[in-house]
Amino acid sequence: MGAIYMKTFLDLCIKAIGAEHVILDELDQASYLVDWRNRKRGQALAILRPGSTLEVATLVKICSTYSVNIVPQGGNTGLVLGGIPEVNGSAVVISLKRLNKIRDIDVRNNTITVEAGCLLENVQISAGNSQRLFPLSLASQGSCTIGGNLATNAGGTGVLRYGNMRELCLGLEVVNAKGEVWNGLRALRKDNTGYDLRDLFIGSEGTLGIITAAVLKLYSKPNSQLTAFVALNSMIDAINFLLLIQKRSGAELTGFELMNQFSLDLVHKHFPTFQQVFSVAHPYYALIELSSGETELNLKDRLESSLEVANTSGLIEDAVVCFSESQTANCWQIRESISAAQAKEGRNIKHDISLPISKIADFIFETNHALQERFPGCQMVTFGHLGDGNLHYNISPPEGEVDSDFLQNQVIINQIVHDKTHFFHGSISAEHGIGTLKKQELLRYKSTIELDMMRGIKTALDPENIMNPGKIFETIQ
């Protein structure tokens, strides 16, 4: 963009939202331009921080007129580089963080209407203040925003019972690529009036439009909740234990998280203040949560009796039921610190995959074997939301090997893991999305028919290709 043209463009942005919300200084821009794991640093013409839907719409119109690409951004906690601009500096980042109002809570309809920049944690707190539950729960909830959660169709630990973000959203407000505001803020559980545009924008990673607000579902707050940490001898046992507890607890089972021993080793190495739950090591662990409208006593009886049945049938090795808040917090902190512990240990090769639950044990057996054959001594950090068939299957270097050397094997390791995932009819991205990190992999595993339909939707909604171009697909010419 020529200097005069660029000055006119920036002057218009300043006129639209005020100079204090147009960030041009390199130092002030820095935190918007690097991803959470510090893997990519982009550049931008400016960081724009609108304060209302109307201001977002005005900015998109200006960008469209001047053919400036837009990268929408929320909390910048995404894990596939979707919210980071390219290094050529030709795009603007539109940060939604100032759109942070709770617009309405309708307790009788069990819905909450929130702006896209609201932190997930603040939405949970607002729901709680009205004796309701907003069940999306992620380790990044203190930093990520509802807009980002919707744009990535976030999952987390409550999906087993409540579904992912798509299932928790009833309506959306979106600024489309022309800068028009679509008000689809419907608070309806049934609405079959043609194509579901809401579902198109959810999971679109900022490539179709900018989500500015949403109507989300609320649930009754449970009266009692219990967590148990369970030691397991094998993946097959873990899956059979999941089936048993699902059968016995039904909708009361609100979490079933898996961790292998190496994940726990990393957490205890880097967070030594967390209490060890078991004194001896086991191959796998499940962290389970039961929630109920009944008293804690009834829930405890049912949980203990299920654990007893599991124990007598040889499915579990050991179990600890948490009876205090601090014990419960300690167990969840262990689970939620696995990502941070890996980051402290060094870099490793990460995969966010999902599989039919019936295939997970075979997948792990075969993939572990294939990787060990090719890279003897490599260490698996296997954890995730087993109840949803979602594994974070990460590969760390053999002990003593430098992480940067091991990372050179990334392409071949990704191929081994993703080929096996595909073989077992799984997905190469369960909850983090595609961004720029997995777009080559997408080409490898999606059919031409599916990719063509996806590109058709992109072209129809964003014909000038200004909405987050280069994310999900290569730039469409």
Ligand X SMILES: Cc1cc2nc3c(=O)[nH]c(=O)nc-3n(C[C@H](O)[C@H](O)[C@H](O)COP(=O)(O)OP(=O)(O)OC[C@H]3O[C@@H](n4cnc5c(N)ncnc54)[C@H](O)[C@@H]3O)c2cc1C
Residues making contact with ligand X (CB under 6 A) = 36, 71-79, 82-83, 96, 116, 138-140, 144-145, 147-149, 151-152, 154-156, 205-206, 210-211, 339, 431-432, 435, 468, 471
Give the H/E segment covering residue 229.
strand 224-232
Instruction: Name the residue with the smallest CB distance to ligand X.
Output: 148
Cα(413)–Cα(415) distance, integer angstroms: 5
Nearer to ligand X, 144 or 216 (CB): 144
Question: What is the rounded distance in angstroms from the CA atom of residue 162 to the CA atom of residue 389?
Answer: 15
Q: Which is nearer to ligand X, 96 or 310 (CB)?
A: 96
Tell me how far, at minimum, the Cβ of 150 lies from ligand X, in Å. 7
Query: Does an H or E element contain 166, and which?
Result: helix 165-168
Cβ 155 to ligand X shortest distance, Å = 4
The CB-of-66 to ligand X minimum distance in angstroms stands at: 20
Q: Which of 470, 371, 364 is nearest to 415 (CA)?
A: 371
Looking at residue 301, its amino acid is D
Q: Minimum distance from CB of 20 to ligand X (Å)?
A: 21
Give the strand pairing for 69-73 and 91-95: parallel
Residue 215 or residue 307: which is nearer to ligand X going by CB?
A: 215
CB of 174 to ligand X, least distance (A): 8
Number of residues that make up the chain: 477
Spatial distance between the Cα atoms of 127 and 129, rounded to a whole number of angstroms:
5
The residue (of 179 and 317) whose beta carbon lies closer to ligand X is 179
Report the 10 Å Cβ neighbour count for 130: 14
Q: Based on CB atoms, which residue is closest to ligand X, 36 or 375? A: 36
**Shortest distance in whole angstroms from residue 156 CB to ligand X:** 4
CB atoms within 10 A of CB 136: 27
Nearer to ligand X among residue 339 and residue 465 (C-beta): 339
CA atoms within 13 A on the CB side of 213: 25
When the beta carbons of 140 and 292 are compared against ligand X, the nearer one is 140
Residue in the block written with tokens 């929320």: 74
For the bound state, the minimum distance from the C-beta of residue 245 to ligand X, rounded and expressed in Å, comes to 21
Per-residue HEC secondary structure of 83-118 comes to CCCCCCCCEEEEECCCCCCEEEEECCCCEEEEECCC
